[in-house]
């Protein structure tokens, strides 16, 4: 009987608390409504005169209310950030570039017992995958702040994404979970299919870049023909009067032929920049420094030319000064990039072998730290061995794996090497590094390295094509100018006056300077095609400038005088 009397009292206490809470909530709502409704008479008069200010003031009041309710404010911010936005093609290309490694990380962590949603939380801290970090943070915020279901959020993200691969991955994962299929098998099959697709797209990219180089060859042949026609018409006394009636038309034509070739090379550089990218991080800073040095060295040359100082130099003209300035400005950037390339090439070649050694050592039952030491101690990795030896010493001293990774990241700027070691450390810390997960990581790294190596091997022959075309252009153009200049001075037509030598000499110097500048830009274009970065073309640009300089020197100081071929024999 006693228990029966106590129960209703508890129920009454609970109901009274609920009533009190409801009353408090009603009072808060009434206060908020009054704040919105109560306005001074002055404000009403101003609103009658200026009705456009009304929504602005209401917005200020709502902002004040949101400041008093931080949870609602946070929800509003998340809803605004996660609002569907039309994504561009460039953003989709960034997703496709990072997606194979994103799926690899989720697959390996799933094999270690971590759900994909918790993997997304970890990827939120991955600066090395900036695009997927952004996508992961948006999905996690929708789930944790707005309270949406993870599968619903993934399905919604799949519909909004502009990347077809990302859409297929998210939609397939949601379907696998809903039907009760094997998540690990689905993730593994998706991972391998994405790497196969990456290899196919890499071969397709090589074909596109080859077509771009072929287009450059055709353009260069056309420009060479126009060079010869212009020189022939402007140097022939019978045609120069009709083709170039005055000095202004001559100057306009020369400016056209000086500006057009560098513009065509710049257009090809822009197209190649949109098509391919490098695996090296930090090359943009190196390229900016080199361009500042190049521009700083070119400006004095053109200033001296405009002031007429170069005309007083008999042995040095604008082509020589421009060539020396470009070569001098390229020395330091070339040395810096060569140092970067040596380290990263060694690291990219060593990474698949290191991961394979760690996976095989883990199969024997060694601890994760001992497996890493075993993989890092292997010799034959050139300059990258010094970085690995320091990592081994730090491991024996008890330095955490993440600290060791940050030290390796400062030494190596290859994006592929950094993401492979990041996944390795994440797998080791998540579940101790299962042998199957490490074996999968080693296979993925080997496949990625083989794809990049095959692409570079297929693009290397195009370097020789660029050198041959620029060499032929330089020698042929200057020889044609010299030959027609000799013919003009030797052959006289009654009633005509040959052009003075000063015009021919000035025209020749301007053409030679244009070819030097074009050679530098073409070198950057070739480097972008082969290595994926313009910084990789600094060496090619310097070599092409040196080739053109040799052609200028040969045409100026050749042992064989071209005009002697057109001199009539003496009796």
Residues 327 and 223 in one domain: yes
Strand, helix or coil for residue 398: coil
Q: Tens digit of pLDDT for each residue in 406-463?
A: 888 888 888 888 888 888 888 887 765 567 778 888 888 888 888 888 888 888 887 8
Residues 172 and 95 in one domain: yes
Buried b (16+ CB within 10 A) or exposed e, 17-26: eeeeeeeeee
Residues 336 and 360 in one domain: no
- Give CA–CA dist 157/167, Å, rounded: 8
- Give CA–CA dist 374/368, Å, rounded: 10
- Give CA–CA dist 299/86, Å, rounded: 43
Percent of the chain at pLDDT > 90 equals 0
Residues 355 and 440 in one domain: yes
Identify the pLDDT of residue 42.
44
Residues 465 and 357 in one domain: no
C-alpha 374 chain-centroid distance: 35
**Which residue would you say has higher pLDDT here, 252 or 201?**
201
Residues 333 and 222 in one domain: yes
Q: Per the structure, how many domains does the chain have?
A: 3
Residues 145 and 279 in one domain: no
CB 132 within 8 A of CB 98: yes
Residues 337 and 357 in one domain: no
Q: Which is nearest to 473 in space by CA: 184, 194, 265, 195? A: 265
- Give CA–CA dist 555/482, Å, rounded: 8
Residues 336 and 358 in one domain: no
Residue 465: count of CB within 10 angstroms of its CB: 16
**Which residue would you say has higher pLDDT here, 170 or 480?**
170
Please, what's the largest Cα pairwise distance for the chain?
A: 148
Mean pLDDT (the chain) is: 75
Q: Tens digit of pLDDT for each residue in 108-155?
A: 888 777 888 888 888 888 888 888 888 888 888 888 877 778 888 888
- Whether 562 shows a pLDDT value over 80: the answer reads no
Residues 414 and 468 in one domain: no
Residues 484 and 335 in one domain: yes
CB 262 within 8 A of CB 517: yes
- Give CA–CA dist 426/429, Å, rounded: 5
Provide mean pLDDT across the span 489-499.
52
- Whether 397 shows a pLDDT value over 80: the answer reads yes
Of 453, 479, 496, which residue constitutes the final position of a domain? 453
- Whether 268 shows a pLDDT value over 50: the answer reads yes
Tokens 């994962």: give the residue.
173
CA angle, corner 324, sides to 222 and 327, nearest 5? 80
pTM of the model: 0.72
Identify the pLDDT of residue 381.
84
- Give CA–CA dist 154/140, Å, rounded: 10
Of 134, 163, 181, which residue constitutes the final position of a domain? 181
Which structural domain, as residue segments, surrounds residue 218? 211-342+458-566
Identify the pLDDT of residue 9.
43
Residue 138 domain-assigned?
Answer: yes
- Whether 3 shows a pLDDT value over 60: the answer reads no
Residues 364 and 333 in one domain: no
CB 566 within 8 A of CB 486: yes
CB 163 within 8 A of CB 99: yes
Q: Tens digit of pLDDT for each residue in 12-32?
A: 444 555 656 666 666 665 655
């Amino acid at each position: 009987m006693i228990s029966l009397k106590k129960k209703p009292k508890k129920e009454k206490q609970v109901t009274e608390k609920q009533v009190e809470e409801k009353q408090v909530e009603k009072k808060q709502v009434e206060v908020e409504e009054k704040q919105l409704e109560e306005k001074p008479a002055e404000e009403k008069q101003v609103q009658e005169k200026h009705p456009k200010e009304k929504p602005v003031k209401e917005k200020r009041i709502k902002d004040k209310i949101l400041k008093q309710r931080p949870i609602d404010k946070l929800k509003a911010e998340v809803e605004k950030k996660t609002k569907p936005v039309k994504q561009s093609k460039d953003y989709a290309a960034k997703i496709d570039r990072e997606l194979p490694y994103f799926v690899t990380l989720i697959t390996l962590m799933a094999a270690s017992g971590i759900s994909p949603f918790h993997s997304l939380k970890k990827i939120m801290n991955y600066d090395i995958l900036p695009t997927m970090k952004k996508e992961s943070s948006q999905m996690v915020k929708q789930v944790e702040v707005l309270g949406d279901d993870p599968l619903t959020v993934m399905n919604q993200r799949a519909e909004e994404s502009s990347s077809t691969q990302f859409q297929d991955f998210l939609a397939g994962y949601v379907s696998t979970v809903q039907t009760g299929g094997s998540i690990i098998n689905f993730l593994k099959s998706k991972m391998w299919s994405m790497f196969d697709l990456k290899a196919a797209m890499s071969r397709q990219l090589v074909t596109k870049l080859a077509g771009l180089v072929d287009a450059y060859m055709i353009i260069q042949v056309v420009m060479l023909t126009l060079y010869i026609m212009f020189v022939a018409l402007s140097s022939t006394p019978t045609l120069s009067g009709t083709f170039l009636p005055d000095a202004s038309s001559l100057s306009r034509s020369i400016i056209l032929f000086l500006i057009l070739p560098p513009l065509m090379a710049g257009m090809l550089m822009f197209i190649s920049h949109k098509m391919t990218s490098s695996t090296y991080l930090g090359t943009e800073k190196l390229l900016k420094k080199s361009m500042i040095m190049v521009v700083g060295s070119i400006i004095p040359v053109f200033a001296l030319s405009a002031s007429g100082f170069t005309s007083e130099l008999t042995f040095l003209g604008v082509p020589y000064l421009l060539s020396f300035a470009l070569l001098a400005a390229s020395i330091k950037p070339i040395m810096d990039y060569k140092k970067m390339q040596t380290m990263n090439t060694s690291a990219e070649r060593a990474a698949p072998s290191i991961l394979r050694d760690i996976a095989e050592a883990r199969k024997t039952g060694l601890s994760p730290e001992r497996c890493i030491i075993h993989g890092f101690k292997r010799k034959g990795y050139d300059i990258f061995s010094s970085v690995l030896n320091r990592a081994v010493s730090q491991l024996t001293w008890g330095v955490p794996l993440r600290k060791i990774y940050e030290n390796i990241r400062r030494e190596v700027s290859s994006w592929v090497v950094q993401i492979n070691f990041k996944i390795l450390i994440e797998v080791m810390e998540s579940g101790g590094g299962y042998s199957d997960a490490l074996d999968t990581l080693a296979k993925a790294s080997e496949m990625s390295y083989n794809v990049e190596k095959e692409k570079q091997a297929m693009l290397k022959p195009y370097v020789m094509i660029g050198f041959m075309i620029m060499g032929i252009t330089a020698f042929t153009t200057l020889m044609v100018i010299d030959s027609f200049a000799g013919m003009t001075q030797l052959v006289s037509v009654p009633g005509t006056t040959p052009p003075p030598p000063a015009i021919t000499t000035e025209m020749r110097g301007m053409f030679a300077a244009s070819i030097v500048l074009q050679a530098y830009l073409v070198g950057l274009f070739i480097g972008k095609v082969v290595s994926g970065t313009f910084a990789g073309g600094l060496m090619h640009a310097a070599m092409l400038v040196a080739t053109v300089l040799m052609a200028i020197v040969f045409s100026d100081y050749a042992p064989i005088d071209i005009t002697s071929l057109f001199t009539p024999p003496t009796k």
